[in-house]
Amino acid sequence: MRVAALAVLVLTVAGPLAGCGLTHSGSSTARPSGPAERWVAGSVGITDSRGTTWQPDVSVAQGGQVTTPGSAVAGTGNPALYRKARVGGQGYELPVARPGTYAVVLHVLAPQDVRAGQNVFDITVDGRTVISAIDVAARVGAGHALAVLVPVTETGDSIDLGLRVRHGEARVSAVSVAFESTAAARTTFADDFTGPAGATVDSRWTFETGGGGWGNNELGVYTSSTRNVSLDGKGNLAITARRENIRDTDGKTYQYTSGRLTTKRSFDLRYGHVETRLKLPTGGGLLPAFWAVGSNVDNVGWPVSGEIDMLELPAPDGSIYASIHGPTQSDAAYAHVAGIYPLPPESVAGFHTFAMDWYPGVFQFSVDGMVYGSVSEDDMPSGQTWVFDHPYYLIFNLAVGGNWPGSPPAGTPFPQQMVVDYVRVTGHN
């Protein structure tokens, strides 16, 4: 999704990936962590295309040899990171300044001549497997780069990160460590949508209403009516799109109504683990979405505010999209797709759990516990500004029509629903 102009506005992870602190609108946008520590494969450091300095990894790497890829690496906007790779290493001993929660990011790659299943490895912390069966070629394709997020809670002065090869080899081009927090994780926001059937949502949610296209030439009007947004009496929120003519305050008549609600006036977060369980509609020309917009949007506008799309399904595409949006250096908009996950056809109409893990400089997205997308600041092209260190608020909506995914085909049955079981945010404070 994107904010309307001038509107009121697969890896297996062992255990949940909890993120960092809740904050509120108006708080500082500076990273609480300070600068990350970064190392690149080899005995010589580099300054990459974003102007970031990387130290040589010889002081932290445990064994292995440094090789040079035979061809250009795809899947990154910062190719300097992948000019070399460490192969055959046992892992890394990464120094940290103090105990706390850290985001470790491994920048790994698959050679051009490697097929899925040939290079598979696990990641361990203090000898315990935390991510299993990483297969870069299967995940993103041969000749591609991949950023792997490893959240670590460290009680000592270094992180013992191990690589356990199952098949072939692990190729690591770079590794970074960013401090997040010393506090314990806790639930900072939760809604299980309990209440009688037909009731509206509680006061933490604000309705965004009206037509006007919402920046995507949508065909409907968002309302605050319980015909479009209500509890179903079974512990769910139902956002219902209906085919019905409605005259909006702009004087135009629209053919559809639906719902769009946000936490703009009650809650925002900077970093964290965000999770929702919901059931998606299956009709064509619909775009159910769960996303977030920078809480400074009224002051700086979009795309400078930034946007995080945790879930979009342009029905009847059948694939889940995760992406981020921000400004270029000239304040034009960019869109960076972090991952695309095709839902099995037999499961599209069922409930699925979608999650985002957001740490300083990196996002990771999953569906039903399977990681399918990630994006790191260090892999962004030099002209794209990272605007993901300030608070964001949450949005649920069910769009009808628009530039993406197009109009509902003739005969599409209405009403259509997006049914939300719960939404939860875990963070450090």
CA–CA separation, 146 and 138 (whole Å):
11
Count of C-beta atoms within a 10 Å radius of residue 129: 14
Residues pairing with 261 in the sheet: 207, 396
For residues 174 and 196, the answer to whether their CB atoms sit within 8 Å is no
Please give the C-alpha separations between residue 34 and each of 38, 97, 104, 287, 317, in angstroms, as whole numbers.
13, 11, 14, 38, 41
Judge contact between 186 and 105, C-beta under 8 A: no
103, 180 Cβ separation under 8 angstroms? yes
Residues recognised as catalytic: 307, 312
Radius of gyration of the chain (CA): 22
Is residue 189 classed as helix, strand or coil in its secondary structure?
A: strand
Q: Are 366 and 149 in contact (CB under 8 A)?
A: no
User: What is the full DSSP assignment across 385-429?
Assistant: ----SS-EEEEEEEEESSTTT-PPPTT--S-EEEEEEEEEEEEE-
